[in-house]
Amino acid sequence: MGIHIIYGSHYGTTERYAKELSRRIGGAAVDYRDMRKISSQDTVVYFGGLYAGGLVGLKKNLPELKTAAKLIVVTVGLADPNQQENVQHIRTSVTKQLGEELSAKTTFVHLRGGIDYERLNILHRTMMRMLYSQLRKKPSEQLGSEERELIATYGKKVDFTDLSSVEKIEALLQ
């Protein structure tokens, strides 16, 4: 019986959270591409960066994650998880990835990351540019909190990472 800490991250914010948990509870934080075999008695804490509602690497590892006795999925995104509307949005999209059955027995934790537009690769930059230009066409009273946030931070460098929020996950593992 063990705890596996796995992460899927493109620019490092999610990785930092996973490494912080590993520093606190011991054991390695492993990139999703190097995930080892999970036994039916194991607990998996899967940290994933949010990209257009999906978590990095989650789909690839679904068959293995289904084996775990306990699954904690930690989402890391730009949207503020203190806003209930954002959490609902994230849950709906991640449930599509996980499937209803696995989702129902998963514990979710939502953390906040950051973005540095200068570091984005061409694909991510283009995706954000398209999203931004779509949002700019929407009347402002129809914009949700996540969408307003995206407009406010577009093109900038912001970091909402708060490593102390990993406490929430530690508490779930006790």
Stretch that binds ligand FMN, among 6-14, 25-33, 65-73, 95-103 (CB under 6 A): 6-14
- DSSP annotation of 5 reads E
- DSSP annotation of 67 reads T
Residue 44 or residue 160: which is nearer to ligand FMN going by CB? 160
C-alpha torsion angle, residues 41, 174, 71, 65 (rounded to 10): -40
> Smallest distance, Å, CB 157 to ligand FMN?
11
Tell me the C-alpha distance between 15 and 30, whole Å. Answer: 9
What counts of helices (H) and strands (E) characterise the chain? 7, 8
* Contact mark string toward ligand FMN, 38..57, x via CB under 6 A: -----------xxxxx----
Interaction between residue 5 and ligand FMN (CB under 6 A): no
By the 10 Å C-beta count (0-12 exposed, 13-18 middle, 19+ buried), 87 is classed as: middle
Contacts with ligand FMN in 112-151 (CB under 6 A)?
A: 113-115, 120, 124, 127-128
> Smallest distance, Å, CB 21 to ligand FMN?
14
Interaction between residue 61 and ligand FMN (CB under 6 A): no
Q: Residue 109 to residues 49, 64, 76, 132: CA-CA distances in angstroms?
A: 12, 20, 9, 27
Residue 13 or residue 106: which is nearer to ligand FMN going by CB? 13
Sole binder of ligand FMN in the list 4, 5, 13, 65 (CB under 6 A): 13
The gap between the terminal CA atoms of the chain, to the nearest Å, is 14
- Residues within the interface to ligand FMN (CB under 6 A): 9-15, 49-53, 76-79, 113-115, 120, 124, 127-128
